[in-house]
């Protein structure tokens, strides 16, 4: 289960984020006649042949697998719109374009289960991957600019982007807080030895929680260099891979 290793700062798996995205509504075109379906989350239907209706994504996928409907991709997934979004993402270095919160998961579900319903599917997938990469790079550069703050505001992030950066940002902000409050650092001997090692450029510090505790005692310039190093390493490990 997500977050078992650290109950305070959890991260969801890609499958868990995708599971949450399946509650989003999507438009389908049924090819059958069926009475309304009543669920805890709401009532959907009636279903009439060639009459478009909206259902949760999980229901659309279930009907699609049985050959009972076609799924209409959302308007934001058109080649024209994605090209425009990509251009604006590249032009506006300090801002993120508005996209659905689960745009990565929705597109992945459509690529997996309804690729025959997506016009120019390969072009659409390439554009979404490019948008995702540009946005993650902007997240990196945005976080590199903050220091010693009690809050970080990056509007219009998607679920995937929030999930990737949340554990690291939480730990980094906690470290900044402790760095500004030296009396909250309990292990003075370890901090002192860390300063000596840093001054002599001897062994490099651990990048985990223990490393954070040691790094909090460093001078500002050394702390910032350590922060950027760990930050870059974290994103190198967490960056989603192209399919």
Domain boundaries, the chain: 12-72, 159-238
Q: Which residue has the higher pLDDT, 111 or 221?
A: 111
Q: What is the pLDDT of residues 101-145, one digit of tens each?
A: 999 999 999 999 999 999 999 999 999 999 999 998 888 777 666
Q: Is the pLDDT of residue 69 over 80?
A: yes
**Lowest mean pLDDT across 34-38, 72-76, 169-173, 214-218:** 214-218
Mean pLDDT of the chain: 77
0.75 surpassed by pTM: no
| Confidence at residue 221, expressed as pLDDT on a 0 to 100 scale | 52
Task: Please state, for a pLDDT cut of 70, what percent of the chain lies above it.
Answer: 61
Per-residue pLDDT reduced to its tens digit, 71-108: 999 999 999 999 999 999 999 877 899 999 999 999 99
Q: Which residue has the higher pLDDT, 120 or 193?
A: 120
Residue 164: closest CA among 6, 21, 17, 23 = 17
35-59 pLDDT tens trace: 999 999 899 999 999 999 999 999 9
The answer to whether residues 226 and 197 touch, using CB atoms and an 8 Å cutoff, is no
Q: Is the pLDDT of residue 154 over 90?
A: no
Domain made up of 12-72: CATH architecture: 3-Layer(aba) Sandwich (3.40)
């Amino acid at each position: 289960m997500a977050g078992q290793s650290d109950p305070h700062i959890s991260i969801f798996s890609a499958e868990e984020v995708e599971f949450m995205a399946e509650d989003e509504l999507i438009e389908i075109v049924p090819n059958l006649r069926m009475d309304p379906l009543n669920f805890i989350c709401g009532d959907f239907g009636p279903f009439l042949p060639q009459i478009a209706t909206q259902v949760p994504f999980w229901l659309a996928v279930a009907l699609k697998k049985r050959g009972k409907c076609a799924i209409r991709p959302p308007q934001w997934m058109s080649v024209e719109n994605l090209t425009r979004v990509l251009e604006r993402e590249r032009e506006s270095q300090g801002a993120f374009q508005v996209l659905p919160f689960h745009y990565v998961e929705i597109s992945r579900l459509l690529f997996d289960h309804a690729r025959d319903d997506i016009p120019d599917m390969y072009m659409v997938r390439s554009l979404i991957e490019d948008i995702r990469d540009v946005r993650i790079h902007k997240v990196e550069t945005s976080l590199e600019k903050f220091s010693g703050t009690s809050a970080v505001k990056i509007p219009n992030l998607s679920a995937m982007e929030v999930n990737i950066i949340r554990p690291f940002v939480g730990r980094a902000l906690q470290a900044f807080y402790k760095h500004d409050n030296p009396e909250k650092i309990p292990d003075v001997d370890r901090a002192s030895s860390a300063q000596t090692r840093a001054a002599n450029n001897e062994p490099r510090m651990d990048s985990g929680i223990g490393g954070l505790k040691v790094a909090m005692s460093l001078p500002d310039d050394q702390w910032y260099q350590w922060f950027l190093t760990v930050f870059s390493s974290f994103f190198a490990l967490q960056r989603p891979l192209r399919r």
